[in-house]
Amino acid sequence: MAGAYLDTRLKGRDYLSISDFSGEEIRLLLDAAHDLKKELKAGIPHPVLKGKTLGMIFTKASTRTRVSFEVGMFQLGGYALFLSAQDIQLRRGETVGDTARTLERYLDGIMIRTFDQADVEDLARYGSIPVINGLTDLLHPTQALADIMTVEEHKGKLSGLKLAFIGDGNNVAHSLLQICAKVGMHMTIACPPGYEPDPEILAGARVDAAATGVKLEVVTDPFEAVAGADGLYTDVWASMGQEAERAERLKDFSRYQVNAELLGKAAPGAVVLHCLPAHRGEEITDEVLDGPQSVAFDEAENRLHAHKAIMALVM
């Protein structure tokens, strides 16, 4: 057992937003994720969280996040409990604060997927154990770490690369803006008017981008965004909680599909990323998602390694 995941500098920290971490800390998380992946492939056990427990609260659906955290905790020697918000007292009106003050008596960490970023922050504020944000309406920071890890694996570097995000300026786009700025990647988002990323998130990320010397841009033309891009990223047009807007969004986003024509305008050898689940035939075609440039399923796998890195370092 040897690797960056044994580092103790992040012990006790919450993982609520990429913006809470410095570029060096993101580097440490990435190194830990790469090391854990190598060890897993080599059959080297790494039970660094032996005897520890993670509670996983979900008020939204999940395939990847749930399974990768649960399996990841098992591989780290610990135990993970799935806490459906349908079944715990939070749903019946117990406050987030009382939930935090209770759960910290049993658990060593909490991962939560929910709607409001403020609930995740409250859980962290009222409890003393590390809280990991497994997606809110605003952010998806565990996803962004796995995404960047995947780009680094396929491109051999991060600094100076360009990512084009085609679609909604949503939670996934926000965390990507923040992480690209920290690791020195240019990022251009192409979205229809009215679907731009949150101006505060963009402004915050631009402070980091100025320090690393990269550009973060928002445009309306997908072809402009993909010019020279080393990575193309897309996500569903209607996120969880936006089901009622689906028909309207399908119309508004119709020009924003990642298809062979658009991919053809990116840099040669550009990789295609998607956080998944995909709505095939909407934001991305089968041809591209199943094509040779797609790394979406490596990206899904890397959620496991990235989540293990987060847990090993903060718990």
Token pair of 214, please? 């990269």
Q: Which residues are paired to 58 by β-bridges?
A: 84, 113
- Minimum Å distance from CB 174 to ligand CP? 14
Shortest distance (Å) from residue 163 CB to ligand NVA: 16
Taking CB under 6 A as the rule, does residue 175 contact ligand CP? no
Three-state SS at 1: coil
Determine phi and psi for 80, rounding to 5 degrees.
Answer: -120, 135
Determine which residue in the list 143, 170, 171, 175 makes contact with ligand CP, applying CB under 6 A. 143
Say if CB 178 and CB 17 are below 8 A apart: yes
Residue 174 lies near ligand CP (rule: CB under 6 A): no
Among 57, 236, 289, 310, binds ligand NVA (CB under 6 A): 236
Residue 64 structure tokens: 């990847």
Q: Which is nearer to ligand CP, 5 or 58 (CB)?
A: 58
Q: How far is CA 163 from CA 62, 188, 210, 227, in A?
A: 25, 6, 17, 10
The least CB distance from residue 279 to ligand CP, in Å, is: 13
- Does 178 sit near ligand CP (CB under 6 A)? no
Is residue 178 among the annotated active site residues?
no
Among 180, 236, 275, 315, binds ligand CP (CB under 6 A): 275
CA quadruple 94, 99, 105, 107: dihedral sign: positive
Q: Can 303 be counted among the known catalytic residues?
A: yes
Binding residues for ligand CP restricted to 67-106, rule: CB under 6 A:
none
- Residue 99's binding partner among ligand NVA, ligand CP, none (Cβ under 5 to 8 angstroms by kind) is none
- Cβ of residue 76: shortest distance to ligand NVA, in angstroms? 23
Going by DSSP bridges, is the β-strand pair 162-166/109-113 parallel, antiparallel, or unpaired?
Answer: unpaired
Nearer to ligand CP, 46 or 113 (CB): 113
Is 275 tagged catalytic? yes
Q: In this structure, are residues 108 and 127 in contact, taking their beta carbons and an 8 Å threshold? A: no
Let me know how long the chain is: 315
The catalytically annotated residue of 13, 46, 75, 143 is: 143
Picked from ligand CP, ligand NVA, none, the partner binding residue 236 (CB below 5 to 8 A depending on kind) is ligand NVA
CB of residue 275 to ligand NVA, shortest distance in Å: 5
Segment near ligand CP (CB under 6 A), from 10-18, 57-65, 91-99, 187-195? 57-65
Query: Which residue type sits at 179?
Result: I
> Does 276 help bind ligand CP (rule: CB under 6 A)?
yes
B/e letters for 63-84, b = 16+ CB within 10 Å, e = fewer, are: ebbbebbbebbebbebbbeebe
The residues, ordered by sequence, that sit 6+ positions from 285 with a Cβ below 8 Å of its Cβ are 257, 258, 259, 260
Surface-to-core class of residue 308, CB atoms within 10 Å of its CB (0-12 exposed, 13-18 middle, 19+ buried): buried
Residue among 46 and 140 whose Cβ is closer to ligand CP: 140
We find the least distance from the C-beta atom of residue 152 to ligand CP, in angstroms, to be 18
Contact between 209 and ligand NVA by CB under 6 A: the answer reads no
Q: Does 235 bind ligand NVA (CB under 6 A)?
A: yes
> Binding to ligand NVA by residue 144, rule CB under 6 A?
no
Active site residue 246: no
Total residues interacting with ligand NVA, rule: CB under 6 A: 9
Contacts of 103 (CB under 8 A, 6+ apart): 55, 110, 127, 129
Which CA distances in Å does 152 have to 17, 41, 160, 245? 21, 18, 12, 35
Residues that are catalytic: 113, 140, 143, 235, 275, 303
User: Site residues (CB under 6 A) for ligand CP?
Assistant: 62-65, 135, 143, 275-277
